[in-house]
Amino acid sequence: MNLTQTAVDTWLDTFQTLDWHSLKAEVRIYPSAIFLKDFKQTDIHYGAQNVYAALDGAYTGELSIAQLQSIGVQSVLIGHSERRQVFAENNEMITQKVKACAEQALPFILCCGESTETRASSAHIAFVLRQLTEHLSQLSAAQLQLLVVAYEPIWAIGTGSSADISQITEMHMAIRNHLVHLFGEAGQLVPILYGGSVNAENAAEIFSCPDVDGALVGGAALNPHTFHQLWQALHS
């Protein structure tokens, strides 16, 4: 929930002056919902930060898949840690969103991650894998092309301190193995992103970890030049 209309206009103008095509890496932008249509006339992949599972109805304040698709939205975030923590979205709600997106063929990034307390109890891997098992339970191997997984340790988001390399490697390897366990070889093709205080200083090291295919970037993306540095780091 950042930036006003004037700031978004400036952000878009600056973003489009930068070279996003010379290197092969998909770029997605997930702006606040009121700014989604500002991206419609660009060649940028743009998605929504949230979606509701019902197709339509008396759900004031929510956005349906059909509404988002009608303005060209190409994907959505599901289960971001702030939706879980601040807005009390439980696993059942998130699983229903995954099911709805799969049925309507809308690509999505599924976020998962553990709290400080869960990591301190050494239950972090089991916790994250349970999230994935529940959320992906009704997904077929053929629908995996819609899925991107984002691991975001809650204790690292917005703190300025990312997980260390051994922690990231451990979790991403566990997620990859679990996807293969659930879906066979198709699980090898699902991109896994890291999210949690990624910045220009630590991005290259994070991207060097096995099974880290990109980043889910928060505050660092508010400056298009910094965001571009992260994109370049993916190829370093």
Residue in 114, 124, 152, 178 annotated catalytic: 152
Q: Is 80 a catalytic residue?
A: yes
Alpha-carbon gap, residue 25 to 103, rounded angstroms:
27
Alpha-carbon gap, residue 133 to 218, rounded angstroms:
26
DSSP E strand boundaries for 115-205: 147-151, 192-194
Taking CA 79 as the corner, what is the angle to CA 77 and CA 84, rounded to the nearest 5 degrees?
135
Residue in 80, 124, 178, 228 annotated catalytic: 80
Alpha-carbon gap, residue 142 to 62, rounded angstroms:
28
Helices (H) and strands (E) in the chain, counts: 9, 7
Q: Is 225 a catalytic residue?
A: no
Active-site residue set: 80, 152
